[in-house]
Amino acid sequence: MSTSGSHASRAKRLAALRAAMLRHGVDAVVVPSADPHLSEYLPGFWQGREWLSGFTGSVGTFIATAGFAGVWTDARYWTQAETELAGTAVALMKIPSGASLLHIDWLAANVAPGQCVAVDARVLGLSTARLLADALAARGITLRTDIDLLEEVWDARPGLPQAAVFEHPEPFATMSRAAKLVATRAAMAKLGARQHFISTLDDIAYLFNLRGADVNYNPVFLAHALVGPDEATLFVAHGKVSPALANALREDGVLIAPYHAAAAALAALAPGDGPAHALLIDPRRVTAGMRAAVAPGVPVVEATNPTTFAKSKKSEAEIELLRATMEQDGAALCEFFAWLETQLGEWLRATLTEVDIDTRITAARARRPGFVCPSFGTIAGFNANGAIMHYRASEHTCAEIKGDGLLLIDSGGQYLGGTTDITRVVPVGTPSAAQKRDFTLVLKGLIALSSAHFPQGTRAPLLDAIARAPIWAGGAEYGHGTGHGVGFFLNVHEGPQSISASTMPEPHTAMEQGMITSIEPGIYRPGRWGIRLENLVANRRAQETEFGQFLAFETLTLCPIDTRLLDLALLRPDEAAWLNNYHATVRARLLPHVAGPAKAWLEQRTEAI
């Protein structure tokens, strides 16, 4: 349930926050979109930014002073934020990407020397905290991180989730928990650390072969972990781990401790010199509050969590499981699209809305073996709503699908055998020449990057321009990254790789064998239509030459691309051949899994051009 409330209730909340600021001598308060695990999707308890501002996007930072309130968010959410913030006292502050820290520059420029800025260290990333502290100190501004003003003003604040933790079973868990702990300890030793503290939920779920349901769409659970040389401690709320599971964990040297005891455990670490006492933390994936809890004198090694690299490089067994999952997901989509086209072609049908799309596509997936839940909230945007990059239809705001236009559908599923994420565009009525041109340019971008070969170790952001080049040549652009890593029955957005011009091409973003990444170029024309095509691909070894090992992409997603939207004059022969080969593969792989209308639809939509 949304925590945003009405304009009037949000105004009262902002007034209450300002009163609390006055009581504590705070001149500006920062509320990031974060929890103690720096998650993308947040349990209700930590959705303070949405509760205060009414902006429901997954990325944004809220700041309030005595005379100003604003939300900083990137181009994916500008149209959505303009709608949700209209008529309120909260301003939209546009930033170039979700990783931007322009709000820190704003604070340094707009808070006076001698004044005080407050932010809860329990939800503030350590790297960001350091940049914020330096910027404010340079201006003589005090930073307080020891208070959570939401505790005083949020009367009906949701509680913490209580869903049970469960095993990710074999054969879907292709490496044992004990083996993962051995590999993690080996990586710790190479970094000179004896202990390793982990807060990110997908790292913890991966390492211990456990899953949960505490966060919408991501099968993870609230926990911290401390990995020592002989034992590991999992800090999780009482009652979430069954006695049988606790016994299984104990056999692998994993102890259970209360969720809120993690900070105390860090404070209890013995100080000393050298690797015999060193603690490994990832400054990008731990909060300032947890770092501050570390006992003085404990040597700290800062590096990327070893599990972040390990889970990003899927094994051959995992990729084979995901191929099978993609066949089930593709078959579900065939059933859905066959139904959709029947509805769109039925003159006397009942009203069809964007919400109906979400309901039907989820139901089709739910009939497939291994399905657990959607991997994110389905985006079904017709015409102008399709131009809102992270649009989410509701019963009160959804559009009716009728007349001429384009329907953009971005959806995905969490299966025991992997995570899916796909975007397709469907013509409704008669598409225009301009819409066909945009669609074909986006397809050319998808084909260009899908066909690329590149040296192993290439930093993922450098690949972004390959997908954009055909779109740029057509005089268009899009305001989001081209691709994100995808977990294996884990988070649909996963690092360390990110194919995005806004991501720094640092060493940890290197493309390696086994990584699964999305390719999703687009064109969005506000108020008119949006087009995005998305497939998931796996990094596979290609040729090896005197210049080293090269990688190429294996396309994993299996679903036709609608050829009714093509401007064939814009496609080169090699691009048409790529599409025909892709459709031949889709047809061959999915035919054994479909029947009736779904089979007929698949055969029709995979005909060669």
Residue 75 confidence class, pLDDT cut points 50, 70, 90? confident
Q: How far is Cα 536 from Cα 519, in angstroms, rounded to an integer?
A: 6
Neighbours of 52 (CB within 10 A): 27
Distance spanning both ends of the chain, measured CA to CA: 45
Give the number of C-alpha atoms closer than 13 A to the C-alpha of residue 442, restricted to the C-beta side: 29
| 412: pLDDT strictly greater than 50 | yes
135-170 pLDDT, tens digit each: 999 999 999 999 999 999 999 899 999 999 999 999
Fold designation for 313-605: Creatine Amidinohydrolase (3.90.230)
The residues, ordered by sequence, that sit 6+ positions from 572 with a Cβ below 8 Å of its Cβ are none
Alpha helices in 409-539 (DSSP H): 433-450, 464-473
**Model confidence, pTM:** 0.92
Q: Omega into 171 within 30° of 0, i.e. cis?
A: yes
Amino acid identity, position 182: V
Helix (H) or strand (E) holding 423: strand 422-428
Predicted pLDDT of residue 1: 40
Q: Please name which of 76, 37, 109, 595 lies closest in space to residue 287, comparing C-alpha atoms.
A: 37
Phi, psi of 540 (to 5 degrees): -125, 150
For the segment 536-558, the average pLDDT, to the nearest whole number, is 97
CA–CA gap between residue 327 and residue 347 (Å, rounded): 32
CATH number of 7-153: 3.40.350.10
Residue 94 belongs to what H/E stretch? strand 91-94
β 195-198/279-281 pair status: parallel
- Phi, psi values for residue 506, rounded to 5°: -85, 165
pLDDT band for 274, please (50, 70, 90 cuts).
low
pLDDT band for 275, please (50, 70, 90 cuts).
low
Average pLDDT of the residues of the chain: 94
Task: Compute the average pLDDT of residues 74-103.
Answer: 85
CB 120 within 8 A of CB 292: no
Q: For the domain bounded by 166-310, which CATH number is listed?
A: 3.40.350.10
Dihedral sign of CA atoms 37, 42, 45, 47 in order: positive
* Separation of alpha carbons 174 and 251, rounded Å: 19
pLDDT at 72: 94
Q: At what angle do helices 573-590 and 596-605 cross, to 10 degrees?
A: 160
Q: What pLDDT is recorded for position 322?
A: 98
User: 54: left (phi > 0), else alpha (psi -120 to 50), else beta?
Assistant: left
> 227: which 2 tokens?
């990995």
For residues 381 and 198, what is the distance between their CA atoms, to the nearest angstrom? 38
- Residue 119: CB atoms within 10 Å: 27
Measure the CA–CA gap between 606 and 580, rounded to whole angstroms.
8
- Per the listing, tokens 């084979």 go with 320
Domain residue ranges of the chain, discontinuous segments joined by +? 7-153, 166-310, 313-605
Judge if the upstream peptide bond of residue 43 is cis by omega within 30 degrees of 0.
no
Domains 7-153 and 166-310 share a fold: yes
Give the span between the Cα atoms of 593 and 450, in whole angstroms. 25
Q: What is the pLDDT of residues 563-603, one digit of tens each?
A: 999 999 999 999 999 999 999 999 999 999 999 999 999 99
